[in-house]
Structures are given as C-alpha cells and as structure tokens.
Amino acid sequence: MNPVLENSLEQARPVFPFTAIVGQEEMKLALILNVIDPKIGGVMIMGDRGTGKSTTVRALVDLLPEIQVVADDPFNSDPQDPELMSQEVRERLQRNENLPVTTKKISMVDLPLGATEDRVCGTIDIEKALTEGVKAFEPGLLAKANRGILYVDEVNLLDDHLVDVLLDSAASGWNTVEREGISISHPARFILVGSGNPEEGELRPQLLDRFGMHAQIGTVKDPSLRVQIVEQRASFDASPVEFRQTYQDSQAQLGNQIVEARKILPQVQLDYEYRVKISQICSELDVDGLRGDLVTNRASKAIAAFEGRTEVTPEDIFRVIPLCLRHRLRKDPLESIDSGDKVRDIFKRVFGYA
C-alpha cells in the first residue's frame, strides 16, 4: 500500500494508545513478552465483556518494531533467514538474484469469526495449475500474518477445526495447502493472540494448552479507577488525535524498550538451578508435557530483557509463571481456570519463600 495512503488511513481510524490503558497489567505484560519473544507461543486472554480485551490487543500495533522484508513479497519473507522465506524467494536467492529489501512494521491481522478455511489458509487455482502448469496460489490470512500477529476475537466461538489449523501453523511455523494432488507450503510464523468471554465457553484443554500464556482479566471494581477509565475513553472518542499526542512520549519510550529487549534477549541467562526449580513446580502441579517448562523459561528471559537485564531473578519467574501454567493444570471440568494462586503457592514453597 502507498505509505501516504496508509498514513491517512491511520489518521482516519486512530488506535487507543497502549500506555493509556489503565489496569489489566497481566494482559499487557503477556502481550509485550510475546512481542519480545514470539517463540513463547502466543496468549489467550479470557475476561468479562467490556473489559478492553480487543482495545488492548489492537493498541499493541503502535508498539510493534520494524522488521526487514523482501519487497513486494506477500509472505513478509525475511531477506536473511531461509526458514522465514517463501519458496519463490528461496529460488530467487539460488539464482543469485538481487533481492530488493524494505522495512515495515510488524503487522497485526484480524481473523473474522466467520472466516472460511480457504480465507485463512489460502487457495490454489486448479484450472490455472492444469492449463498453464504453474502453481497459482492465492495467499490467505496466514501468509499475511507471517512474522506478525494473528488476532482472533471470541476464539472460543471459532470452529474447532479452524482453531486446530491455526495452532498447527503457529506451532510448526508453516502452512501447507493441498488440493487435487497439488501441494504448496509457505512460512507462517506468527504470534497467535486469542480473546474470549468465559461465559461463552472455554476452549478444549488440548487446544488451550497450545497457547503459550493465559491472561485472565476482570471488571475493575475500584470506583475511582472506573471513573478514570470512562473519562479517558470519552476524551479519546471526542478527540482521538489530540488524545494520542498526549501519550506520544510514553508510547515511544515503551516501543524503544521493546526494541532493546529484543536485541538483548539472546544474551539473557537463566541459572540451571532456577530451571530445575521451574521443572519441579511443573512436576508438582502435574502439568502434562513439557510446554509449561519451555514457556516459563522463555517468558522469564523475556521479562528480564524487558527490564534491561541479562540475568533472570526468582522475582521474574514469580511474575510470569502463573501466566504460563494456570491453563495447564488438571481441574474439575465444572471449575473455571485457576486464578494462579495455586501456582504461586507451589512457587513459594519450591523457591523457599515465606
């Protein structure tokens, strides 16, 4: 899209600033950590209606850093990493072609609730393939979301088959479309963010487990805080551009902090003793598989990087471990997801906290 047109569209529909969002720290932290380390595996946000889930996720767009992409490539191919390149770009490299490179902001793609599998995965033009002998592929939302964020509002109302497709692509980093003996694959590495209202039903446990983190949010109870939130929303609705300018500095500061955290993340160390204790907590909580261990390790490093440190502390682990484990606990089917208190109690005992 023409940059001038894109900018004018942004001005026509300004987004609520992320740093202006009051409360809901757990949700904001989970989103930020996933941007710092996309390999955490996404976040599922569950909460009451009208608690700002969609507003917060969409507000993240402003903070997303820029990435290098191959120009005019529908898959946002990385010019350096073959694992993040489309087949066409890899073939061009093998032919020693000069790839034009440009920078763009990490994109956020909204997945509509009524989307079909073809819309999500892409389609193959069989007629063109048979008559012209070329693999004519029309990319879907997974192609557009490569190296970005895929947001699904009301994910618990999405067809289970489609959720499976999304989670498989998010886990493998690839999307494969097969039709009439023709198969096309392309990279699809994205941060999957889902939101939903628990009153409309939970995701099946085996699907829920595939989300790296789970943030629970509730309606703010403090009357003065509620007034502040209402007044902020009214100010934004009355004059969005002016309201956004008020938060320009804090937005820039948080955006820079995320960029720096992504740079130092590879240097962050997690002590072996702490890794053993994380696994001990997972074992005592009877968490199935090793996803809980892996995600907690990654999230602990990401929060240390976010705060500009290269050593993980027990406090870092304490802050992220409920987000990483609460949705993996075995529970009575009639119970709602544990608030995280059980996870914190085991943490305190294993780490020797009073």
Q: Contact at 8 Å (CB) between 192 and 167?
A: yes
Backbone angles phi, psi at 187, to 5 degrees: -65, 140
Helical (H) or strand (E) element with 185: strand 182-187
Distance CA 272, CA 42 (A): 25
Q: Contact at 8 Å (CB) between 76 and 148?
A: yes
Please list the residues that pair with 216 across neighbouring strands. 46
Determine which one of 189, 291, 298, 326 is catalytic. 291
Q: Contact at 8 Å (CB) between 311 and 268?
A: yes
Distance CA 228, CA 19 (A): 14
Distance CA 307, CA 303 (A): 6
Q: Is 291 a catalytic residue?
A: yes
Backbone angles phi, psi at 247, to 5 degrees: -105, 15
Catalytic machinery residues: 291
